[in-house]
Amino acid sequence: MRICIHRGSKQIGGSCVEIEYQNQRLLIDLGLPLDAESNDSRYLPPIQALDGNDPSLLGILISHPHLDHFGLLAHISPNIPIGMGVNARRILAAAAPFLPGNIPIPASGWDYQSHQAFTIGPFTITPFLVDHSAYDAYALLIEAGGKRLFYSGDFRAHGRKSVLFDRLVESPPQNIDALLVEGSSLGRLDTDQRFPGETELEEQLVQAFSATEGIALIHTSAQNIDRIVSILRACKKTGRKLVIDLYAAAILEATGNQNIPQSDWSDVALFIPQSQRIQIKKNAWFELLKKHSKNRIFIESLQESPKQSTILFRPLHCRDLENANCLAGAGYIYSQWEGYWENGTYAQLKDWLAHHNTPKQSIHTSGHASPVDLKVFVQALVPKKVIPIHSFMPERYADLYANVEQHHDGEWWEI
């Protein structure tokens, strides 16, 4: 089995790995780099047959629905089969119409079921559901020619699905020849440190909501399902309703999990900002709106009871809240990767918050494993080789593991 990391040996995001056996090929992930200026075909790695005209490329396996792992699917042939989680596929289909830019809807292909192996040509693939900030995320075991490659994807051990990490390290796949393991946290934490868990964040949110005299604005991704669960639990403890828009309602429904907050729950309300109303009218999404309108509220409800409301916030809410004078005593909680805030993505929002004297508080945790948990993970799998990927600090792997073998982007190697 031959392997090439096309992108990811020295960076986080834009991941893409090619595997070849007996002139048959698979790709694992085809991600948009985090520093890409736009979702543009110029970021495609130099891989043959992305136009769908070479049958040696059997398909692409997507580990999870984050753009830095699937975003470049927008620029390949729709005839190339795509493997991913069933729920992840539904979430991406639900999200794409709402989002600007080149958001791909993956082509049909293989639907993962955790621990259930399937074959693609000479390859046998076994997906393992993992704990990550993306819903329905998987690690992948790929076997061919008697060799076994394990691709960790992105994972953690401190989310609401941490039991998945525990199960994997308690009963890991055996005889791993090479382990491609993410190292996003290396360089961000000392080797003995851990990120806070979602349950710790829940308590921080309870304190923040309790201390907020008006509307609480919490800025997070509607696709970070663990975080939405934490937010709703904190709302219930502080007598607030979670207010979502139609985009979030569609994402939550697409999980297919009725244990996940839904638009018809009594402690959830639907509010449609004006810009989204225009979008609904333009695209004739009237049936979608009707499906989620059981608990619909209007701006008057937010004016009358601001302390009883927590908005799952996006910048498209700004004009509605401003025009309705809903910001007295409001608090803003930033619950995303801090890099977006620091690199200017939300420069206009910063000015808006300053104009309205709305304080910012950051309450967030990583979607990636702490160094301590990375070490536990690798020790459990006992791989013959540990290959760095999805890390800005591949040189730090040797601090955690004994059998590190670093490969560069574009380099082919064998197991």
Question: How far is 89 from 22, CA to CA, in rounded Å?
Answer: 30
Question: How far is 89 from 350, CA to CA, in rounded Å?
Answer: 34
Question: How far is 324 from 321, CA to CA, in rounded Å?
Answer: 5
pLDDT of residue 98: 94
Q: At what angle do helices 225-237 and 198-211 cross, to 10 degrees?
A: 40
The type of residue at 216 is: A
Residue 175, number of CB atoms within 10 A of its CB? 12
Phi-psi region of 14 (alpha: psi -120 to 50; beta: other; left: phi over 0): left
Q: Burial level of 215, CB count in 10 A (0-12/13-18/19+)?
A: buried
Residue 319, number of CB atoms within 10 A of its CB? 13
Kind of pairing between the strands at 82-85 and 57-61: parallel
Q: Burial level of 83, CB count in 10 A (0-12/13-18/19+)?
A: buried
The type of residue at 327 is: L
Q: At what angle do helices 86-95 and 246-254 cross, to 10 degrees?
A: 160
Tokens in use for 345?
A: 């993505």
Among 147, 181, 128, smallest CA distance to 413 is for 147
Domain ranges of the chain: 2-190+367-414, 198-362
Positive/negative CA dihedral, 207, 243, 250, 66? negative
Residue 236, number of CB atoms within 10 A of its CB? 13
Q: Kindly give, in sequence order, each residue whose CB lies less than 8 Å from that of residue 39, ignoring residues fewer than 6 positions away.
A: 32, 67, 71, 72, 74, 101, 102, 103
Tokens in use for 307?
A: 């302390």
Among 132, 133, 135, smallest CA distance to 86 is for 135
Whole-prediction pTM: 0.95
Which helix (H) or strand (E) is 25 found in, with range? strand 24-28
Q: What is the pLDDT along the chain (415 residues), one digit of tens a residue?
A: 999 999 999 999 999 999 999 999 999 999 999 999 899 999 999 998 999 999 999 999 999 999 999 999 999 999 999 999 999 999 999 999 998 888 899 999 999 999 999 999 999 999 999 999 999 999 999 999 999 999 999 999 999 999 999 999 999 999 999 999 999 999 998 888 899 999 999 999 999 999 999 999 999 999 999 999 999 999 999 999 999 999 999 999 999 999 999 999 999 999 999 999 999 999 999 999 999 999 999 999 999 999 999 999 999 999 999 999 999 999 999 999 988 898 888 999 999 999 999 999 999 999 999 999 999 999 999 999 999 999 999 999 999 998 999 999 999 999 9
The residue ranges of DSSP E strands in 29-167, in sequence order, are 57-61, 82-85, 111-112, 118-120, 123-130, 137-144, 147-151
Q: Which CATH architecture has domain 2-190+367-414?
A: 4-Layer Sandwich (3.60)
| CB distance 89 to 81 below 8 Å | no
Overall CATH class of domain 198-362? alpha beta
Which helix (H) or strand (E) is 139 found in, with range? strand 137-144
